[in-house]
Amino acid sequence: MIARLKSDRKKDWDRERKQMEADLRRQLASAKPKLKREQREELEARLKQLGALAKGDDSGPAFDCVLFDDGKVWRAVIDTDADGDLAEETALASFREERQYGTFGFDSLLNFGVNIFDDGTRLSIVVDCGSHGTHVAGIVAGHHPEQPELNGLAPGAQIVSVKIGDTRLGSMETTAGLVRGLAAVVRNKCDLINMSYSEPTRRPDVGRLARLFSEIVNKHNVIFVSAAANDGPALSTVGGSGGGMSAVIGVGAYLSPEMMRAQYAARRGAAQNAYGFSSRGPALDGQLAISLFAPGGAIASVPEYSLRPLQQMNGTSMASPNACGSIALMLSSLKTRGARYTPHSVRRALENTTKPVEGVEVFAQGPGLIQIADAVEYHRQHENAVGEMLSFDVRVLGEGGSQGVYLREPEETSRTLQTRVRVRPLFPEEAPSRARTAFQLPISLEATQEWVSVGEQLLLTHGGATFDVQVDAANLESGVHFAEILGHDAGNDERGPLFRVPVTVVKPEPAAALVEGRVSLSAGTLARRFLSVPEGATWADLTLRSEADAERSIVCQTVQLRSGRTFREGQSKSHFRLRPGEDVVRSFAVSELKTLEVCLAQSWSSPGDSEVSFELAFQGIVPSSREIALPAGEAGTVIALRSPLGKLEIAPQGSLRTRRSIVSPASAVVRPLSGPRDVTADGEPLYELKLTYRFEQDAPGRVTPRFPANDGLVYDSKLGTHLWMLFDAHNRRIASDDVYPSSVQLAKGEYRLVLQLRHEDPAALEKLKGSPLLLDRALRSPVSIGMFTSRIAALSGDGRFKPGPLLPGETRTVFLATPSGTAGARPGDVLLGGVTFGKEDSQSSGAGRKPGGFSVRYTVPVKPIKAGATASAVPKTQRAFDILRLKATSFEEDRKAYDELEATLLKAVPDDVPLLMLRLERLDADAKRKERLTEVVAAADAVLKRIDRAKLAQALGARPVTAKERSAHGKAVAERDRLADVLYRKVRALGAMDLPEVVEQHPVEDPQELERRFNEAFSELQRWVDTKAVKYVSLQMRRERRRERWGVALGLLNGAISKEPSQRRYYEERRDLYEQVGWETPRQREAERLLARFPPVEEPF
């Protein structure tokens, strides 16, 4: 939409601009013989500036907004067409009050709603970040009475739209948005939540959001459905919401032959399947993670601004609302007949009536495809059974509170596991003690596979019960195996499982340096191999070759799971076209002695059978230290290298490329938030921690801000996600980001970064007040790390390490020299980089070395303070002491004392130019300058009177040869700079005397005399400096404006903006110049840009 509107506005402006250009050219051509040089220059300058406007930036229209209280509710009036006329606009209340919305003009078709907070002091204009949310809503509840074939699953169901994605982050979800959303769910008495968002997690079912999501389900009886994520097809790729939280129903994406034909115009539909991207379980804690399987593609509604009514989209984001809409139908049935239900009874009915899809693994579909009519009937039959309204908490004891058994690593699958499982019924908080005491439920236990052994009977009471489990993983074949322990109502065989304990065993093949094989694929199928990575391996080269009759679309995903990390941190993934007879080689880093999954999948839209041969070669150059720190103050460090798996060529090389600076907070404030939206779902108040950091950017470049304590954590964070905003010196927001750091391009200047973190516990926030900000910048040039044979060789500069072979059983040492240069880094900075030890060989298949190499860091040492050094010089005379005292005296607040001391000093030395300069600088301060322009001119004249300009010109004209002459010339240059500064201040003051806001208070008695004095002072300044230079260009512009040469002034101004783009006054002057020259469209757009570039108030979180 933005691109469309910009294009339309550009077309309109181009037509107007070309007409203006034609008028100027006619004017120039017809009057050219009669024009004076200055007039011709002005017309030519206008033409040039019009041409420059053809490429101008368009920040879009600015809309006036007015809030008022009509006696009942607060209302907002928004000038949707930016024409300045509010009478034609609708006064909107907060959407929840009257469910009214508006539409912005300019043929945008962008609909919006408003929310008004904090007694009318804050207006929130809510628009879509994209089409995703509207599409999801259409799947759930799209209602098209005239075209019922376009209806959603539950046509006309009432939707409360909760925006959890932050527009500043490209619609990334935030904890603040999620907490506000949960509160809105309770406030609006919602029955169901659909969340088509997901991020990976390090620990499932752990963290602040996991607790809040559990409360919304277990305490507030809201059914929570979420997308499983789109990171498949490898195992354990589910996200943190729809695949890692036990209270949430995670949904995988189903694809049927009918969908292939109707949505993708497939010529030949494959068998029903899971979408290849649909994330697979199990979760890292053993949960199956996928609770339901539902269609993952749909043609549904999208926002009007997209200029189309419908769009096809696919993803687990579409599967989740499909399931949610089906559940809405079920709730409608339950409510119609007044049935009692809970989220747990509904979920159990759904899971126990699913239809397993033949040929689709359980990790993709969970129990199976949703069958909503069967679920309704199941609930009717069993809703009065003992415990049906309860959930059952299942924990594998001794496994960190896991909710299933997940054995994956070689040491886990080479033995028989003996463990215990605890099952506990979870009663609502309001449940009476007598109901808890009376609860007893005989349970029959059943293992679905022979390699899992469990007892037969269990009596479940309020306090729970435990039972023993044996998993005989040692005798399983290599591959993935799945079983469940089902807990049934012993008195009702038809009831279906009350709880399930998933058991997953991934049995890797024995470690081998080279693994070869062949897999058969067809449209929509996949093949997995699980391999134990041999000791000493640091990377692997995978070679694939197709023997099919045509090219095939293939995805190759490898995953290793490591404690404390998400699956993404241990994966490689690539999509490619595999052509017959051609080799595709992928190299990726591996961790030794850990299980590696290699998953190959052929797209469902790539028909035909494939025979794919593969060769996986594990390689390894093992350094004695895998995270290398170069010692400060020493020559370097020794690294020993081994190659346990075979002969490899080594050619060590490395460099430091990133400078990391550590910034402490300038301020840290914890305060309570106010307003109805900043509370938890239970109404608890929330607090915010606001940390402010200040730093300077020495040169233009990219910067990556990092907060390592919380980066990368979303659903498993104890505190939740943070959000930061970066402002320049003019309070303009330059960038925003969250827990996934990214770089931002910055110009030279001063910056302020403000970070916000919210929580209901202020004590938890207090502990984070000292959190450091890390700033990563690319070094001006990489710092090479010298590779030597020894420390002595490094000190002498001889004995560089020479490339050569490294044999199994052999150890070679390399000395990494501490760098002598730091490429502009400051003491205390940390330089970061990488080292590779293998030789890159373009002739061989594979990388020849570990992709990404090994990390290396070096801390720039702080220089010691020399003995006897002092912070500042002590004044040696009384006059020097008095001058220091004068400088410390406030010119504004203690003017009388300042004048008296200055008079005393000038009486003793009347021609003390530095003292006179000090007065001029104090009078010429920005805040008070326009109130005392006459004094500024007088103070400048007092200094000018004491500078011998003829002598100065003579000194500058002679070329210095001797040292004495060079010293004298340097002093003359300094004197010239002071003269220029004085003249600059004088000209600026004279030029400001006839500004409208000054004339109003201090009328000009003789305008012609003022003009003469201005021109005289300006001409004098031109003798000494180039008045078109950045420092003086504002005076040159003022001179041109006084001569009504607006085009020439515009050219000078645009040149100044290109050199100092952050100066607000330049843009204000450009807006005014556009008005003076009569260019209304540029004036209006410059005014719009001013609001965007320099907001009047700091943008709120």
Inter-axis angle of helices 343-351 and 372-382, nearest 10 = 120
Examine residue 282 and say whether the peptide bond preceding it is cis (omega within 30 degrees of 0). yes
Residue 870 has pLDDT above 80, yes or no: no
Token pair in block for residue 166: 């932050």
Residue 682 has pLDDT above 60, yes or no: yes
Q: Assign 871 a pLDDT band (cuts: 50, 70, 90).
A: very low
Inter-axis angle of helices 1033-1042 and 1046-1059, nearest 10 = 160
Check if 530-619 and 623-659+780-859 are the same fold.
yes
Q: Which residues contact 1013 (CB under 8 A, 6 or more apart)?
A: 990
Q: Assign 866 a pLDDT band (cuts: 50, 70, 90).
A: low
Q: Do residues 1095 and 1076 lie in contact, with contact meaning Cβ atoms separated by under 8 Å?
A: no
Strand order in the sheet with 440-447: 405-407, 497-507, 479-489, 440-447, 457-461
Residue 872 has pLDDT above 60, yes or no: no
**pLDDT tens string 523-579:** 999 999 999 999 999 999 999 999 888 999 999 999 999 998 999 999 999 999 999
For 33, the enclosing helix (H) or strand (E) is: none
User: Exposed, middle or buried, 16 (CB in 10 Å: 0-12/13-18/19+)?
Assistant: middle
Residue 777 has pLDDT above 60, yes or no: yes
Average pLDDT over residues 249-269: 92
Q: Assign 1099 a pLDDT band (cuts: 50, 70, 90).
A: confident
Question: What is the percent of the chain where pLDDT is above 90?
Answer: 75
What is the value of pTM for the model shown? 0.88
Q: Domain 128-159+191-384: what homologous superfamily?
A: Peptidase S8/S53 domain (3.40.50.200)
- Is 2.60.40 the CATH number for 623-659+780-859? yes
Q: Do residues 699 and 692 lie in contact, with contact meaning Cβ atoms separated by under 8 Å?
A: no
Average pLDDT over residues 751-758: 96
Q: Which of 696, 721, 694 is nearest to 707 (CA)?
A: 721
Average pLDDT over residues 219-229: 97
**pLDDT tens string 999-1055:** 988 899 999 999 999 999 999 999 999 998 888 988 999 899 888 999 999 999 999
> H helices within 306-443, ranges in order?
316-336, 343-351, 362-365, 372-382, 410-413, 433-438
Q: Which residues pair with 688 in a beta bridge?
A: 671, 758
Q: Which residues pair with 930 in a beta bridge?
A: none
Residue spans of the domains in the chain: they are 2-55, 65-126, 128-159+191-384, 393-507, 530-619, 623-659+780-859, 665-771, 911-1025
Give the pLDDT score at 151.
96
Q: Do residues 536 and 626 lie in contact, with contact meaning Cβ atoms separated by under 8 Å?
A: no
For 274, the enclosing helix (H) or strand (E) is: strand 273-274
Q: Specify the residue for token string 């409510």.
A: 335
Question: Which tops the pLDDT comparison, 185 or 955?
Answer: 185
Residue 337 has pLDDT above 90, yes or no: yes
Backbone phi, psi, residue 977, to 5°? -65, -40
Q: Do residues 1060 and 1066 lie in contact, with contact meaning Cβ atoms separated by under 8 Å?
A: yes
**pLDDT tens string 71-103:** 999 999 999 999 989 999 999 999 999 999 999
Which fold is adopted by the domain 393-507?
A: Immunoglobulin-like (2.60.40)
Give the pLDDT score at 842.
54
Give me the amino acid identity at 805.
Answer: P
Q: Which residues pair with 744 in a beta bridge?
A: 703
**pLDDT tens string 792-806:** 999 988 889 999 999
Question: Are β-strands 723-728 and 733-737 bridged in parallel, bridged antiparallel, or unpaired?
Answer: antiparallel
Residue 361 has pLDDT above 90, yes or no: yes
User: Integer distance in angstroms from the first to the last C-alpha of the chain?
Assistant: 25
Average pLDDT, the chain: 92
SS3 state at 817: strand
CA distance 913 to 228: 75
**pLDDT tens string 663-678:** 999 999 999 998 788 8
Residue 869 has pLDDT above 60, yes or no: no
Q: Which of 665, 663, 673 is nearest to 705 (CA)?
A: 663
Q: Assign 876 a pLDDT band (cuts: 50, 70, 90).
A: low
**pLDDT tens string 278-291:** 999 999 999 999 99
Residue 17 has pLDDT above 70, yes or no: yes
Q: Which of 390, 378, 370, 386 is nearest to 323 (CA)?
A: 370
> E strands of 730-829, at which residues?
733-737, 744-746, 749-759, 773-784, 787-788, 804-806, 811-817
Question: What is the percent of the chain where pLDDT is above 70?
Answer: 98
Q: Assign 1061 a pLDDT band (cuts: 50, 70, 90).
A: confident
Q: Assign 844 a pLDDT band (cuts: 50, 70, 90).
A: low
CA distance 435 to 207: 31
CATH number of 530-619: 2.60.40
For 581, the enclosing helix (H) or strand (E) is: none
Q: Do residues 227 and 319 lie in contact, with contact meaning Cβ atoms separated by under 8 Å?
A: yes
**What is the distance, to the nearest Å, from the Cα of residue 12 to the centroid of all Cα atoms in its chain?**
35
Length of the chain: 1101
**pLDDT tens string 892-939:** 888 899 999 889 988 988 889 989 999 999 999 888 888 899 999 999
**Which DSSP symbol is given to 754?**
E
CA distance 1071 to 897: 43
Sign of CA dihedral 618, 621, 624, 625: negative
